Amino acid sequence: MTNVPAALRASLAERVPFSTLTVVDQAVSRDGTVKTLFHTHDGRPVEAVLMRYRDGRRSICVSSQSGCPLTCTFCATGRMRFGRNLTASEILDQVLHFRRIEPVDHLVFMGMGEPLLNVDHVLAAARRLPDVGITHRRTTVSTVGWLPGIERITDCGMPLRLAFSLHAPDDALRSEIMPVNERYPLRDVIAACRRHHAATNRSVFIEYVMLAGVNDRYEQALALAELLGAGYTFKVNLIPYNPTDSVYEGSGREAIAAFKAVLEEHGVPATVRLTRGRDIAAACGQLAAERAAA
């Protein structure tokens, strides 16, 4: 604002910054996906991703924490040091960064961190999303199964979509790859998801990352179908694994297709997620981890 005195401009920049986040790095994939690494005012890394689809959708994946206190073994963020919860403003500034590039219409809280460990700020940010063109019905909150937070989402008064990152059809395997299961076992979380469906009449997404030789066998597909039951309470989203430096490898296309066929044969709706941004380290925490290691 050149018509404002320089001293006032300097004061405004210090006290009312344009954004709470500073862009540190940004990468653009061949498929149009854009991943941005930010730093907060105190130097904490934060990642967000813009995904462009051929049907015109523009979806943003945002972070709710810097790092993550949970230690899911297949997740790059889970191997990072936990920094802190993000404020509602820091969450919204991820959205605004991409909104300045082009209109956006879908959002998922599925970046760095567990959103329901920061549920107050996540809900505060979600309430403001319609102002930037993202309705509550096009907003998804993903969780590893943090039970008190699921109840808050169910009772928040907004028709938000719930996604449960399940990744294993039984407690033994799930506890091995996702230690949070020791605190909130599958039976309890699935029951909470059913209550969410009953209260909102919206299917709950089941996120299931496909790990070769770990959770992709025929009998595991049967167990998952039995756990969820037929009908539209749940919709399974099978996720091809975006390799990190972990010990896991992603399941092949044939294994994923066979797993999907078993679910559908037992009346469980299932889709395979379209892989986005694999060439730019677009999985949660990858860009931050690569920059920290450089």
**Rounded (10°) CA dihedral 150, 152, 155, 160:** -60
Amino acid code (one letter) for 254: E
Location of structure tokens 């091995």: 176
Helix (H, G, I), strand (E, B) or coil at 63: coil
Which residue among 47, 90, 114, 207 is the active-site one? 47
DSSP letter (8 states) at residue 250: B
Cα(277)–Cα(113) distance, rounded to whole angstroms? 19
> Is 140 within 8 Å of 161 (Cβ atoms)?
yes
Q: Per the structure block, which two tokens stand in for 227?
A: 């756990």
Reading the block at residue 237, the tokens are 């989203």
272 φ/ψ angles, rounded to the nearest 5 degrees: -110, 125
Tokens of 264: 């559908």
Q: What's the rounded Cα separation, in Å, for the pair 1 and 8?
A: 10
Length, in residues, of the chain: 294
Classify residue 239 as exposed, middle or buried by CB count within 10 Å of its CB (0-12, 13-18, 19+): buried
Indicate the DSSP class of residue 131: G
At residue 131, what is the residue type?
Answer: D
Residue 284 falls in the annotated catalytic set: yes
Beta bridge pairs of residue 53? none
Question: Tokens 């049907």 correspond to what residue?
Answer: 55
Hey, which residues are catalytic here? 47, 284
